[in-house]
Structure 1
């Protein structure tokens, strides 16, 4: 069978799709995987040994988008009108380009599998070609009684469901014109229903690619059309630690990991000075991962020659996290999955999107704490790390690790669902 997999977003959005694509290719299926141009090389490196996987460029450069004024300024505006306009612009960013590319990808498609971003476009294409439709969700996105729309607030079940319904309706209204333009171009009738309604009617499957343990009661509410499989991740089968990092880890005590993934850090030098100061006060070492921020050059700007702090461009989470004592990161689903699997108590310093959900979930079970990155200061960071290196936090993190499905198990479950859906169409 042929699986077409258009994925948009950052590395954390794309990597779970690659893991699923690799498993489907391993099972003998053909896979066309679409990745943003800035992540094509990453996707090709991870799929190089699989001849059945073709990686193509899909959509705009997401690194440039995250550095844009839209993301850095307007989407964080305190003015609700400005913020809503920015969100609507983000939802359709690169729409025409992606729609054209997707139409070329879906020739002879049996199933279309996409991520959390761009689901509306992918669904319309699946309906047009008559293929199965599956989406990977990396956090709760549909109306329910148990997860607050705004993490940190506790609402009665009925009110909570109403708030989710309102959010779904606002999302549909912001997308409706673009969606119906696409549908007309594909020869489909215009729609007046939101994606969750259409997806359920079509028999689409929204795979919950995270642990139900973190959101008790959700799996029972949603049933078989929104099945939980656990965090999806690439399982290389071997540890891959950079020799320099390995030597540094061996040279002293287990460090606190710091990393903010694809999130642009406004002042890298100030952040590094903060990390140096706080870890020195606590008497712990720090392993700092630059990600998409310019922390490596900022290290020289900070002018801190401290052997207890190491700054690197990137690390392999699966090999490094088990050798750390705690983690401080942005709360992306992939990084949260890695720290959860490693049993690391975690301080989530979130920026936007699904990140506050993970901070709230870890705080709720006692395995971590959470704060907005823009509110991060030396006292806040000091208190946050102090809170997560307690015996209680370590114990809760270890308990969470025992409940997290291994990457191979989660990916196999997702592939089973994808195969079943494709055969069903």
Structure 2
């Protein structure tokens, strides 16, 4: 099978695709991974193609404010999305795969697949595309709306309409005209653990909740200073990834004060600017670094204070570490609420309401969730989401093709 994987976004959007690419390549398939620049994910040994789109630079310049993104749609956001949409089509035309698996931001993937006469598979990293009555679309509202939950899933479809011009350009790359409607995905894969999300009963059979996609990779050697800190006794972890918003110094001060109030040390991953530790609160009980290897650090932490991206949610839960979620945007409030509802975490603390007192209270309550998190970690250890996903892709690629390629 020739498999083209196309993803877009920040590190959390890339890591699952890398894990699936490694699993598929190890199974003997010919795999190409098209991905954005500077994702921060190790792709050594994989056949990759750059989409010439830098989401890290976008975050560094604009932060994570949706209002800032809308204000700078033409000059900043649109060029990045053009790179994704147009270059994904180029990658498909050059590689000519048997099947394409694509991130929802890659709006040209169905068009490219139709032009080549091949199936395509949507990778729904968070539940925001496939409607259900059981919960609202991630990234919309966190409170259940009953029968109206299904209406919230229209938002994702409407967002794609902003980039019609770029999709038209992708159609030119493929040598076709853009059809009014592309073919439906042959399947939809959600790389989410069943320990965190239960499969809704009203999803169609073509939607598969596979479990998280994780690749076993050797842990990098830890910095000696970090190793010494980890060995020094109990600590909490705090990191907000790419969430550069608000006042990171005030946030950092509150986190340090909360940890000290509970008598524990604090490991801080500053990320792309989400946390700054002011000089006047630094001390031997605080270690700040830009990033850490979650697999090496989280199993040793008493709690993980993070933004609630699904990648970090998976990493913390698999490590058996209680999450304290401080959501900023998009799907993060959804996951914070979901973990709390399932008894896996204290109530989330919205980033604008983060105080030392609230974080200290959450740290105090964290041990009460440990048994449930340990059970979830045990369940995750038995999942092999990448293998499940690969099986679906193999079956779809093996189906007889019903349509001729539209590409000349």
Q: Which bin holds the TM-score, normalised by the shorter protein? A: 0.7 to 0.9
How far off is 1:267 after superposition?
3.0
2:144 match: 154
Inter-partner Cα distance in structure 1 for 2:133 and 2:74: 26
1:386 counterpart (349, 360, 364) = 364
The alpha-carbon distance between structure 1 residues 336 and 19, as it changes in their structure 2 partners (threshold 3 A), is same
How far off is 1:25 after superposition?
1.1
Q: Which of 258-267 and 230-239 deviates more?
A: 230-239
2:375 counterpart (399, 402, 405) = 399
Q: CA RMSD in A?
A: 2.7
How far off is 1:314 after superposition?
1.7
Inter-partner Cα distance in structure 1 for 2:125 and 2:268: 25
Structure with the larger helix share: 1
TM-score, structure 1 as length reference: 0.83
Question: Is the 2:306–2:312 contact (alpha carbons within 8 Å) kept by the matching residues of 1?
Answer: yes
How far off is 1:375 after superposition?
2.3
SS of 1:212's partner is: coil
The alpha-carbon distance between structure 1 residues 367 and 88, as it changes in their structure 2 partners (threshold 3 A), is farther
Question: Is the 2:85–2:166 contact (alpha carbons within 8 Å) kept by the matching residues of 1?
Answer: no
Q: Does 1:327 align with 2:313?
A: no
1:277 match: 257
| Structure 2 alignment gaps of length 5 or more | 402-408
The alpha-carbon distance between structure 1 residues 362 and 5, as it changes in their structure 2 partners (threshold 3 A), is same
How far off is 1:190 after superposition?
4.3
1:362 counterpart (339, 355, 368) = 339
How far off is 1:169 after superposition?
4.8
| Structure 1 alignment gaps of length 5 or more | none
Q: Residues 217-244 of structure 1, C-alpha deviation per residue, up to 9 Å, x if partnerless?
A: 41x3224311011111221255754433
Tell which has more relative contact order, 1 or 2 (C-alpha 8 A, sep 6+). Answer: 2
Question: Is the 2:240–2:274 contact (alpha carbons within 8 Å) kept by the matching residues of 1?
Answer: no
How far off is 1:192 after superposition?
4.2
Question: Is the 1:147–1:215 contact (alpha carbons within 8 Å) kept by the matching residues of 2?
Answer: no
Inter-partner Cα distance in structure 1 for 2:20 and 2:173: 30
Question: Is the 2:86–2:166 contact (alpha carbons within 8 Å) kept by the matching residues of 1?
Answer: no
How far off is 1:352 after superposition?
1.2
Inter-partner Cα distance in structure 2 for 1:14 and 1:290: 20
2:385 match: 410
Q: Residues 42-83 of structure 1, C-alpha deviation per residue, up to 9 Å, x if partnerless?
A: 45xx342x3xx32222132111111334x544x147xxxx96
2:228 match: 247
The alpha-carbon distance between structure 1 residues 111 and 346, as it changes in their structure 2 partners (threshold 3 A), is same
Inter-partner Cα distance in structure 2 for 1:139 and 1:88: 26
Aligned residues: 394
The alpha-carbon distance between structure 1 residues 110 and 217, as it changes in their structure 2 partners (threshold 3 A), is closer
TM-score, structure 2 as length reference: 0.87
Inter-partner Cα distance in structure 2 for 1:236 and 1:288: 23
1:419 match: 394
Inter-partner Cα distance in structure 2 for 1:112 and 1:337: 25
Q: Residues 365-397 of structure 1, C-alpha deviation per residue, up to 9 Å, x if partnerless?
A: 12113122122222332233333x242x11222
Question: Is the 1:137–1:207 contact (alpha carbons within 8 Å) kept by the matching residues of 2?
Answer: yes
2:29 match: 29
2:207 counterpart (223, 226, 236) = 226
Q: Does 1:54 align with 2:43?
A: no
The alpha-carbon distance between structure 1 residues 101 and 360, as it changes in their structure 2 partners (threshold 3 A), is same
1:94 match: 80
Q: Residues 270-319 of structure 1, C-alpha deviation per residue, up to 9 Å, x if partnerless?
A: 22221221111111111111222275xx44x4233421211122221112
Inter-partner Cα distance in structure 2 for 1:167 and 1:241: 42
1:130 match: 117
Question: Is the 1:242–1:315 contact (alpha carbons within 8 Å) kept by the matching residues of 2?
Answer: no
How far off is 1:179 after superposition?
3.6
Inter-partner Cα distance in structure 1 for 2:28 and 2:81: 32
Inter-partner Cα distance in structure 2 for 1:305 and 1:181: 52
Question: Is the 1:12–1:334 contact (alpha carbons within 8 Å) kept by the matching residues of 2?
Answer: yes
The alpha-carbon distance between structure 1 residues 291 and 29, as it changes in their structure 2 partners (threshold 3 A), is same
Q: Residues 73-127 of structure 1, C-alpha deviation per residue, up to 9 Å, x if partnerless?
A: 4x147xxxx96x7789988553433344223322222121222422x21121111
Question: Is the 1:34–1:57 contact (alpha carbons within 8 Å) kept by the matching residues of 2?
Answer: yes
The alpha-carbon distance between structure 1 residues 151 and 231, as it changes in their structure 2 partners (threshold 3 A), is farther
The alpha-carbon distance between structure 1 residues 418 and 231, as it changes in their structure 2 partners (threshold 3 A), is same
Question: Is the 2:89–2:108 contact (alpha carbons within 8 Å) kept by the matching residues of 1?
Answer: no
SS of 1:134's partner is: strand
SS of 2:189's partner is: strand
How far off is 1:31 after superposition?
1.9
How far off is 1:2 after superposition?
2.1
Inter-partner Cα distance in structure 1 for 2:310 and 2:385: 14
Inter-partner Cα distance in structure 2 for 1:372 and 1:168: 23
The alpha-carbon distance between structure 1 residues 379 and 176, as it changes in their structure 2 partners (threshold 3 A), is same
